[in-house]
Structure formats: C-alpha cells, structure tokens
Structure 1
Amino acid sequence: MNGLRVATIASLTPLEELDREPFLVDTRRQQAMCARWAAERGHTVTRELLFYGLSPGHRGLWADVDDGQVDLFLVPTERVLARALVSVPDFLAECERRGVPVETAGREEPVYDAAMKADVHRRLSMPTAGYDGC
C-alpha cells in the first residue's frame, strides 16, 4: 500500500474550547501528525480537509475521490473524526462502499502546556491577510 494519495481530515473546533480540547482546536498539529504518518509510509498528502459536523454524504468530502485524486482518508485520531463528521458509522460505510480505506495515524495527542495553548490561540485569532469580511 505504498504511494497512495491521501486526504487528511482535521476537525474544526471553536477556539473557545482550547482549554478543554486543545488538540481538537489545533488543526495545524492534526495535519502535521497525518503528514508524518503518510511520509513514513511513502504516501503523498494531496488534500487537507477541515470539517466540523459534516454530513458523510457531502460532495466536498467525496469530490477528490470521484476525481481520482484521493486513494485513502487519514485522520489523526478517532476523536478528530467524530468531531469532523456527524456520523462516523455512515462515513465508514460509504468508504467501504466506494472502496476507499480510512486510516488513523494512531499517535498520542500532544500534551499542551500554557505556551502551546497561547501559540494556538495567537495563530487562530490573528486576522487573515486580505480578508474583507465577506
């Protein structure tokens, strides 16, 4: 199973949950965990998806699969997948129906100290360059 094209799934979680769920808020570390897992296996991350409570049948989830750009879905942890989608069982059933494997990076979530939480808060609360409010 080397050389697969991977779509990573990270969970969008409100910044207000930083103290309670730091890893679920920190999409950068979620994506980095997946990127390391993929690289160790010779896979290429072709898409980085960010969802919160998405329906498993949503077109945005399957567009790259349908276009032949994704061979595998990868999530950092099962908790992230549960936050990203409204129904994990329905998503897994659809993946099986379409023949798209789902993997979990299976690493432990990092322990967040005050400095790491402050870094996440700073990154996520900064205005986006070029954002015009639309």
Structure 2
Amino acid sequence: MNDVRVAAIASLTPLEELDSHPFLVDTRGQHAVCARWAVERGYVLTRQLLFYGVRPDHDELWADVESGEVDLFVAANEGVLARAVTSVPAFRAECTRRGVRVETADAPPPAYDSAARAAVHRRLSMPTAGYDGS
C-alpha cells in the first residue's frame, strides 16, 4: 500500500497579532499539530508550506501535487487555512477539481501564557546587531 503524502499548510501572520492570536503567529506550532495529525494516521509528511493570502490557483501551491509528491493538504485548523489562502471555498473547490484531499487537524492549539508568547516572539524576531542593511 502506498503512503499518503501530506503537505502541512501553516499561515504567516503578523507578529503584532501575537497577543490576540498566538497560534496563528506560531508557524512552528502549526506545523507540529499537522505533523502529529499525519503520524496518527500513518501518513508521511513530505512538505511544510508557509503562506499568507495565496491564491488557490497559484502555481507554487500545486507544484508538489503535480510532481506526485503530495496527495493531501492539512492545516492545523480552519483559521490557519483562512489566513493561508485568499478563499477557503475556492481552495477546497480547486482541491476537488485536482483530486487532492484537504483536511484540518482540528486539534486545540497549545496554551500560550506570557512565557510561551515571549518564546514565540524570540523565535520569530530577527536580531539586528551587526546588520548593515546591505
């Protein structure tokens, strides 16, 4: 039996939303939820994608499907999917048209206390020391 090859979709979200939507900012956490979802089903995670407002027909979204490396897309939840693509209904329709499944893990996001938010912020912040702008 062939393994189901999964592409995990995470949404890029501005760091300014860390306090109100920490899970939407935490792309590493989103991918971890998708990876657990795939493992629980015996699927193979082959891609980790990061998008923000990509068109459902964008070529890069479908490159791995066309090359035969992805059979299924998964996002951590509907909110993540809604940030990643410009239109969830249009994305689902394009998946149906191309014969690719799309799922959501629907696991509850991890708890984000102030220490967890600070850790996400540190991970996502780029240091500027020594940066000369070139």
Q: TM-score, normalised by structure 1?
A: 0.92
- 1:27 and 1:113 map into 2 onto residues whose CA distance is 17
Q: Which runs of 4+ in 1 moved over 3 A?
A: 131-134
Secondary structure of the residue aligned to 2:91 is helix
> Structure 2 counterpart of 1:26, which letter?
D
**2 CA distance for matches of 1:80 and 1:53?**
11
Tell me, yes or no, if structure 1 residue 65 matches structure 2 residue 73.
no
- Matched residue, 2:48: 48
Identity percentage of aligned residues:
68
- 2:35 maps to 1:35: yes
Q: Is the 8 A contact 1:2 1:41 kept in 2?
A: no
| RMSD of aligned residue pairs (Cα, Å) | 1.9
- Using the size of structure 2 for normalisation, the TM-score is 0.92
Match of 1:105 in 2: 105
**Contact 1:7–1:48 (8 Å) recurs in 2:** yes
Whole-angstrom CA distance in 2 between matches of 1:18 and 1:37: 24
Q: Which amino acid in the other structure matches residue 55 of structure 1?
A: R
Rg: which structure is higher?
2
Residue 80 of structure 1 aligns to which amino acid in structure 2?
Answer: V
**How has the CA–CA distance of structure 1 residues 39 and 68 changed in structure 2, closer, same or farther, with 3 Å as cutoff?**
same
Measured after TM superposition, the shift of residue 2 of structure 1 is 7.2
For 1:22, the aligned partner's letter is P
1:110, distance to aligned residue in structure 2 (A): 1.5
Go from structure 1 to structure 2 and tell me whether the alpha carbon gap of 1:133 and 1:95 turns closer, same or farther (over 3 Å shift): farther
**Equivalent residues in 2 for 1:1-134, closer than 5 Å:** 3-127=3-127
Contact preservation (8 Å) 1:10, 1:51: yes
8 Å CA contact retained: 1:65, 1:71:
yes
Distance 1:126 1:42, change over 3 A: same
Q: Which runs of 5+ in 2 are unaligned?
A: none
Distance 1:126 1:29, change over 3 A: same
- Change in Cα spacing, 1:133 to 1:98, as seen in structure 2 (3 Å) is farther
Partner of 1:68, secondary structure, is coil
Supply the distance in 1 between the matched residues of 2:12 and 2:94 (Cα, whole angstroms). 22
Label 1:2 to 1:119 Cα distance change in 2 as closer, same or farther (>3 A).
farther
1:122 counterpart letter in structure 2: R
